[in-house]
A and B are shown apart, each in its own frame.
Chain A
Amino acid sequence: MKILVAVKRVIDYNVQIRVKEDGSGIVTDNVKMSTNPPDDNAIEEAVKIKESGKATEVVAISVGEEKAQETVRKALAVGADRGILVKAEGTVEPLAVSKILQKIVEKEKPDLVFMGKQAIDDDCNQTGQMLAALLNWPQATFASKIEVKEKSLEVTREIDEGLETIEVNVPAIVTCDLRLNEPRYASLPNIMKAKKKPIEQINASDLGIDTKPRIDQIKVEEPPKRKAGIKVASVEELVQKLKNEAKVI
Chain B
Amino acid sequence: MSRETMEYDVVIVGGGPSGLSTAIKLKQLDSNLNVCLLEKASEIGAHILSGNVFETRALDELIPNWKELNSPIKTKVSKEKFLFLSKSKSLSWPTWLLPSVQQNHNNYIISLANLCRWLAEQAETLGVEIFPGFPASEILYNEDGSVRGVATQDMGIDKEGNKKDSFEPGIELLGKVTVFAEGCRGHLGKQLIRKFELDKGKDPQQYGIGFKEIWEVDEKNYEEGLVMHTAGWPLDNNTYGGSFMYHAENKQVFLGYVIGLDYKNPHLSPFDEFQRFKTHPAIKKIIEGGKRISYGARALIEGGYQSLPKMFMPGALLIGCDAGTLNMPKIKGSHTAMKSGIIAAETINEHLNFQKDLSTFEEKFKNSWLYDELFKARNVKPSFSWGLILGIIFTGIDQILFRGKLPFTLKHKHADHETLKPANEMPKIEYPKPDNIITFDKTSSVYLTGTNHTDNQPVHLQLKDPNLPISYTLDKFDEPAQRYCPAGVYEIQKENNVNKFVINSQNCIHCKTCDIKEPSQNINWVTPEGGGGPKYGNM
Task: Give A residues with C-beta under 8 Å from B.
Answer: 12, 14-16, 18, 21, 29-32, 34, 182-185, 187-189, 191-192, 228
* Distance between Cα atoms of A18 and B448 in the complex (Å): 10
Find out whether the CB atom of B42 lies under 8 angstroms from the CB atom of A31. no
Q: Which residue of A lies closest to B156 (CB)?
A: A185
Find out whether the CB atom of B113 lies under 8 angstroms from the CB atom of A18. no
Find out whether the CB atom of B537 lies under 8 angstroms from the CB atom of A30. yes
Given contacts A14-B450, A185-B168, contact A32 B46 (CB under 8 A): yes
* Distance between Cα atoms of A21 and B293 in the complex (Å): 11
Find out whether the CB atom of A16 lies under 8 angstroms from the CB atom of B450. yes
Q: B134 to chain A: which residues have CB within 8 Å?
A: 188
Find out whether the CB atom of B156 lies under 8 angstroms from the CB atom of A12. no
Find out whether the CB atom of A189 lies under 8 angstroms from the CB atom of B4. yes
In the assembled complex, how far is the CB of residue B118 from the closest CB belonging to chain A, in whole angstroms?
11
Q: B164 to chain A: which residues have CB within 8 Å?
A: 182
Of A18, A21, A34, A182, which is within 8 A of B166 by CB?
A182
Find out whether the CB atom of B166 lies under 8 angstroms from the CB atom of A15. no
Interface residues of B in 138-180 (CB under 8 A from A): 152, 155-156, 164-166, 168, 171, 173
Given contacts A16-B448, A32-B42, A32-B450, contact A184 B166 (CB under 8 A): yes
Find out whether the CB atom of B450 lies under 8 angstroms from the CB atom of A188. no
In the assembled complex, how far is the CB of residue A26 from the closest CB belonging to chain B, in whole angstroms?
12
Cβ of B349 under 8 Å from chain A = no
Q: B155 to chain A: which residues have CB within 8 Å?
A: 185
Of B6, B165, B537, which is within 8 A of A31 by CB?
B537
Q: A30 to chain B: which residues have CB within 8 Å?
A: 45, 111, 113-114, 117, 537-538
Find out whether the CB atom of B535 lies under 8 angstroms from the CB atom of A189. no
Find out whether the CB atom of A187 lies under 8 angstroms from the CB atom of B216. no
Of B43, B171, B450, B537, which is within 8 A of A189 by CB?
B171
Q: Which residue of A lies closest to B291 (CB)?
A: A21
Find out whether the CB atom of B165 lies under 8 angstroms from the CB atom of A32. no
* Distance between Cα atoms of A184 and B164 in the complex (Å): 10
Q: A14-B535, A30-B538, A34-B42 are in contact. List 14 more A-B contacts (CB 8 A).
A: A15-B535, A16-B450, A29-B538, A30-B114, A30-B537, A31-B537, A182-B164, A185-B166, A185-B168, A187-B4, A188-B4, A188-B6, A188-B173, A228-B436
| Size class of the contact patch on chain B | 20 to 34
Q: Fill in one digit per residue for B371-383: 1 if any A CB lies within 8 Å of its CB, else 0.
A: 0000000000000
Cβ of B447 under 8 Å from chain A = yes
Find out whether the CB atom of A15 lies under 8 angstroms from the CB atom of B450. yes
Interface secondary structure of B, over-half rule: mixed
In the assembled complex, how far is the CB of residue A192 from the closest CB belonging to chain B, in whole angstroms?
8
* Distance between Cα atoms of A30 and B293 in the complex (Å): 13
Cβ of B131 under 8 Å from chain A = yes
Find out whether the CB atom of B452 lies under 8 angstroms from the CB atom of A14. yes
In the assembled complex, how far is the CB of residue B404 from the closest CB belonging to chain A, in whole angstroms?
37
Q: Fill in one digit per residue for B277-298: 1 if any A CB lies within 8 Å of its CB, else 0.
A: 0000000000000000100000
Q: Which residue of B lies closest to A15 (CB)?
A: B450
Find out whether the CB atom of A12 lies under 8 angstroms from the CB atom of B535. yes
Q: A21 to chain B: which residues have CB within 8 Å?
A: 216
Task: Give B residues with C-beta under 8 Å from A.
Answer: 4, 6, 42-43, 45-46, 111, 113-114, 117, 129, 131, 134, 152, 155-156, 164-166, 168, 171, 173, 216, 293, 436, 447-448, 450-452, 530, 535, 537-538
Find out whether the CB atom of B537 lies under 8 angstroms from the CB atom of A184. no
| Complex A-B: 7 CB contacts under 8 Å | A16-B447, A30-B117, A34-B42, A185-B530, A187-B171, A188-B152, A189-B171
Q: Which residue of B lies closest to A31 (CB)?
A: B537
Q: B165 to chain A: which residues have CB within 8 Å?
A: 182
Given contacts A182-B165, A183-B166, A185-B155, contact A191 B448 (CB under 8 A): no
Q: A183 to chain B: which residues have CB within 8 Å?
A: 166
Q: Which residue of A lies closest to B113 (CB)?
A: A30
In the assembled complex, how far is the CB of residue B61 from the closest CB belonging to chain A, in whole angstroms?
26
* Distance between Cα atoms of A186 and B359 in the complex (Å): 37
In the assembled complex, how far is the CB of residue A77 from the closest CB belonging to chain B, in whole angstroms?
11
In the assembled complex, how far is the CB of residue A168 from the closest CB belonging to chain B, in whole angstroms?
27
In the assembled complex, how far is the CB of residue B479 from the closest CB belonging to chain A, in whole angstroms?
27
Find out whether the CB atom of B450 lies under 8 angstroms from the CB atom of A191. no
* Distance between Cα atoms of A184 and B451 in the complex (Å): 21
Q: B113 to chain A: which residues have CB within 8 Å?
A: 30
Q: B45 to chain A: which residues have CB within 8 Å?
A: 30
* Distance between Cα atoms of A13 and B359 in the complex (Å): 46
In the assembled complex, how far is the CB of residue A122 from the closest CB belonging to chain B, in whole angstroms?
20
* Distance between Cα atoms of A183 and B155 in the complex (Å): 12
In the assembled complex, how far is the CB of residue A16 from the closest CB belonging to chain B, in whole angstroms?
6
Given contacts A12-B450, A182-B165, contact A191 B117 (CB under 8 A): no
Q: A34 to chain B: which residues have CB within 8 Å?
A: 42
In the assembled complex, how far is the CB of residue B144 from the closest CB belonging to chain A, in whole angstroms?
27
Q: Please list the 8 inter-chain residue pairs (A to B) with the smallest Cβ-Cβ separation, ordered nearest first.
A: A14-B452, A185-B155, A185-B168, A14-B450, A30-B537, A15-B450, A188-B171, A32-B535
Find out whether the CB atom of A32 lies under 8 angstroms from the CB atom of B131. no
In the assembled complex, how far is the CB of residue A243 from the closest CB belonging to chain B, in whole angstroms?
29
Q: Which residue of B lies closest to A195 (CB)?
A: B129
Q: B436 to chain A: which residues have CB within 8 Å?
A: 228
Q: A15 to chain B: which residues have CB within 8 Å?
A: 450, 535, 537
Q: B152 to chain A: which residues have CB within 8 Å?
A: 188
* Distance between Cα atoms of A246 and B406 in the complex (Å): 71
Q: B171 to chain A: which residues have CB within 8 Å?
A: 187-189
Q: B111 to chain A: which residues have CB within 8 Å?
A: 30
* Distance between Cα atoms of A183 and B165 in the complex (Å): 10
Given contacts A31-B537, A191-B131, contact A184 B450 (CB under 8 A): no
Q: A32 to chain B: which residues have CB within 8 Å?
A: 42-43, 46, 450, 535, 537
Q: Which residue of A lies closest to B134 (CB)?
A: A188
In the assembled complex, how far is the CB of residue B451 from the closest CB belonging to chain A, in whole angstroms?
7
Find out whether the CB atom of B450 lies under 8 angstroms from the CB atom of A187. no
Q: A12 to chain B: which residues have CB within 8 Å?
A: 42, 450, 535
Interface centre among A12, A29, A183 (most CB of B within 10 A): A12
